[in-house]
Structure 1
Amino acid sequence: MTTIETVRAVPGASGFFFDDQRAIKRGAERDGAAYRGDPVTPGFDRVRQAGEAISVLLELGDGTVATGDCAAVQYSGAGGRDPLFRAAEFLPVVEGPVADALVGRPAERFAENAALTEEIRTASGDPLHTAIRYGVSQALLDAAAKARRATKTDVLADALGTDPADRPVPVFGQSGDARRDNAEKMLLKGVPVLPHGLFNSVEKVGESGERLVEYLDWLADRTAELGPAGADYSPRFHVDVYGVLGEIFEAPYDRPEVADYFADLRAAADPYPLQVEGPMDEGGREEQIYAMAELRDALADAGVGVDLVADEWCNTFDDVTAFVDAGAADVVQVKTPDLGGVHRSGEAVRYCEGTDTRAYLGGTCNETAESARACAHVALATDAAQVLAKPGMGFDEGYMIVENEMRRALARRGDWRAPVANGEAVADD
């Protein structure tokens, strides 16, 4: 057995920013890369501030060092999430209670060690912040993979009881506010799911939703023009509206005018599949589930083929199960930093098996390259419906990190080879 000898915490930078979502929704104005106005969510000093991370280093008995990064979502403190994550506040937690619990533990026992992190309490008796559980579990996964001379995918598959994917999971690109330029880059690279779009205000969506319709119409045209030549390329369109459609239409959502609007979105995206994330934000989980289910039923009755993605108020494992059990979404986002340990994200994806709800292994632009690579293995181990390209909002970097990590893991497992010159994937014999 290889034991965990020391636990260290190193403050670091994340791939984007912490943004006060409530302040933005209340009208905080963009000022270049920043926002004007006062913050609203507790813990924020300004509407936009630098993202932070903590790198967790586990030194093992054989001299190797395993790593993982603690990170929190861009919109921390919103929609029922844990409060704003400040590295300086949590460094002593990693090198205190976390180290006390893990030093001396066998590195090979990922499932046991990861479960233990759920039980650790701070000096005040509180559970660990989700960002801490997230980063520590990544380091434990890396430690187990190193000790067992296995891929992280295999370690997770053993812990979760899954048969891993034998092809890369479809990657979902996110554009940030450069929703046209970055979407074109995604199309040139043949990304399977795109473009996110960051439609987080009425100004961006349009007073009656017309700008989103126009954007999807443009995107469908550009897909036909820029998609990979000679390939059967039919990406899935996925736009995130951050609850803004709820502000435009308001409840109830089974009214004909709402279904008609979604029919307009469907027609604009044609012939490409369309899914809309976070159509409304009703201020609480039960209210959100009711509204999402109401809209989903109305679209089904009207024959409008737009899938709904749960985001707001779908943060923890219990939240995911509640949305799935209620049939409130076609897709649930498993927001990896909000689930805590990466094994919990894997369990949430697995909960969707055998239901009519697909699992999107998401997260945030505000993560790190280290956490993104760990999530690529969660996606492979659980064969998720799609996985987010992260971190950052520049698209290219996040896509490269996630896609390449999956390809490396599949090559090590002997499942898959990269596409050859004619564009066809060749499996290993």
Structure 2
Amino acid sequence: MEIEAIDATTGYAGFFADDQRAIKRGAKRDGFVYEGEPVTDGFEAIRQAGEALLVDVELADGTVGRGDCAAVQYSGAGGRDPLFRAEEYAPVVTGPVADALRGRDARRFLENAEAIERLRIDGEKLHTAIRYGVSQALLSAAARAEGTTRTDVLADALETEPASDPIPVFGQSGDDRYANAEKMIVKGVPVLPHGLINSAEKLGPDGGGLLEYVAWLAERALELGSEGYEPRFHVDVYGTIGDLFGRPYDRAEVVDYFYAIEEAAAPFSIQIEGPMDAGSREAQIEAMVELRDGLRDAGVDVPIVADEWCNTLADVQAFVDAGAADLVQVKTPDLGGIHRSGRAVRYCEGTNTEAYLGGTCNETATSARACAHVALATDAAQTLAKPGMGFDEGYMLVENEMRRTIARRERAAERTSTDAETGAESDSESGEVSADD
């Protein structure tokens, strides 16, 4: 089934793009937006509407595969690609990208996605958002051409055995960290609440704000959770703990603070994302190894999660090889092609590091559903509820996509089994011997 055309339409992402550097420097909130001037290149305001580029891959029979180009909320920070402007990049998709794909066999997903990874314009790689969205559309087109699920197409490409149960979903609360956390507890979300502790004010002058919040989480989980509910807490602190304490991170003061976090979360487990932002990949790895060693030596059971400076497939591999984290976030829009996110998850297999298939609130329903198939195909440790910061919508999208896909695969397996049994009975009645006998 040949690819006949590639179309691109500008649209909206599920949240906003924020200038993280300006926020960490103390930009004050003014209602929903921020006061002051942006400091990161490409931003016209500290907070501005998220953009998406909606990609359609049209096949010869008229069917269409869809994908959405989108970038992370904190674009341009921590070594990431710059702010994504959909109108600016639309001609790239309808021009060079379309030229590279037109006439190709849609069933050859991996070959087609890799062709886009190799494509250069003026010697430069395509923006990660373009590679991300176009690869989603190629995945959708391949599944339609093959008459199968996107999970199965990815599993074949990555040589994996898909998960038979939904991957644990990680809910993100946004700034409404209390009400949304309660929603998660009532719905029995397995990993929660993200918390968005992205400023010194939220962490508290001595870290006490975080400790109070974690203790509140544990209390509400016990009060509101159903019988047997054992969530895993996961809080993203955006480097603020590192800003508070500084190096060395294996000293008693820091380790004791993490022990206090563990105690506040009891009887539940907790993991901390982005404990520091050291300014480069090498420095971040060194700092996280130092912290992880200190926690392990002291017997403090608070896993740490890599996010800042862990953007590309090569970055994920470097963090895993160094043993710098208990989990690495595979931040899907930052890796480019969606198959590369799958490879990043697979790289964690057989190591002491688990893979958290993440992403950003600033994606779309289309990209969120595509990532649900990556999670299933690779059996990731956890996956993010996205897009948006309202929690309910993103959780519904990701959880339901996984459940629907698992049910479809189970029905297909049952039909195959029934057909095989019927064929064997028919062969027996006709006196023929089946190939399985």
TM-score bracket, normalised by the shorter chain, equals: over 0.9
Could you say what secondary structure the match of 1:183 adopts? helix
Q: Which residue is equivalent to 1:419? A: none
Residues 23-71 of structure 1: CA deviation (Å, up to 9, x unaligned): 0000110111100011000000010000000010111001101100000
Task: Assess if the C-alpha contact under 8 Å between 1:97 and 1:121 holds in 2.
Answer: no
1:125 CA drift (Å): 2.5
**1:233 deviation in Å?**
1.1
Q: Distance in 1 between matches of 2:125 and 2:287?
A: 31
Q: Structure 2 counterpart of 1:293, which letter?
A: V
Provide the TM-score with structure 2 as the length reference.
0.94
* 1:334 equivalent in structure 2: 330
- CA–CA separation in structure 1 for the residues paired with 2:40 and 2:12: 21
Tell me which stretches of 4 or more aligned residues in structure 1 moved more than 4 Å. none
Which amino acid in structure 2 is aligned with residue 252 of structure 1?
P
Question: What SS class does the counterpart of residue 100 from structure 2 fall into?
Answer: helix
Residues 1:399 and 2:395 are matched in the alignment? yes
1:27 aligns with 2:23: no
Q: SS where residue 75 of structure 1 aligns?
A: coil
1:258: how far off? 0.3
Q: Measure the CA separation in 1 of the matches of 2:58 and 2:338.
A: 20
Deviations 1:173-209 (A, max 9, x none): 0000000000000000000000000000000010110
What is the deviation of 1:379?
Answer: 0.1
| 1:96-107 mapped onto 2 (5 Å cutoff) | 96-107=95-106
1:388 to 384, 387, 394: 384
Among candidates 209, 224, 227, match of residue 225 of structure 2: 227
CA distance in 2, matches of 1:273, 1:159: 35
Match of 1:245 in 2: 241
Counterpart residue number, 1:186: 184
Pairing 1:370–2:369 present: no
8 Å CA contact retained: 1:138, 1:371: yes
State the SS of the aligned residue for 1:67. Answer: strand
Could you tell me how far apart the structure 2 residues matched to 1:377 and 1:180 are? Answer: 30
Q: CA deviation at 1:120?
A: 1.0
Match in the other structure for 1:236 = 232
Q: Pairwise CA RMSD of aligned residues?
A: 0.8
Write the deviation string for residues 194-243 of structure 1: whole angstroms up to 9, x where unpaired. 00000000000101100100001010000011112x3x210000000000
Structure 1: give runs of 5+ residues left out of the alignment: 417-429
Alpha-carbon deviation of 1:267? 0.1
In structure 2, give the amino acid aligned to 1:11.
T
CA distance in 2, matches of 1:207, 1:37: 23
State the partner residue of 1:354: 350
| Aligned residues between the structures | 412
Report the Cα offset of residue 115 of structure 1: 0.8
- 2:139 is the alignment partner of 1:137: no
Question: In structure 1, how many angstroms separate the alpha carbons of the residues matched to 2:119 and 2:94?
Answer: 13
Residue 211 of structure 2 corresponds to 213
Provide the TM-score with structure 1 as the length reference.
0.95
1:311-322 superposed matches below 5 A:
311-322=307-318
| AA of the residue aligned to 2:262 | R
Instruction: Specify the code of the residue in structure 1 equivalent to 2:160.
Output: T
Cα distance in 2 between the residues matched to 1:415 and 1:233: 30
**Is the Cα contact below 8 Å between 1:167 and 1:415 reproduced in 2?**
no
- In structure 2, the residue matched to 1:421 is none
- Please give the alpha-carbon distance, in whole angstroms, between the structure 2 residues aligned to 1:316 and 1:415: 36
In structure 1, how many angstroms separate the alpha carbons of the residues matched to 2:206 and 2:291? 17
- Correspondent of 1:163 among 157, 161, 170: 161
**What is aligned with 2:115?**
116
Partner amino acid, structure 2, of 1:300: R
Q: How many percent identity over aligned positions?
A: 71
Alpha-carbon distance in structure 2 between the residues aligned to 1:217 and 1:6: 54
The structure with the largest alpha-carbon Rg is 2
Call closer, same or farther: CA 1:415–1:244 in 2, change over 3 Å.
farther
AA aligned opposite 1:363: G
Aligned to 2:430: none
Cα deviation for residue 394 of structure 1 reads 0.2
Aligned counterpart, 1:343? 339
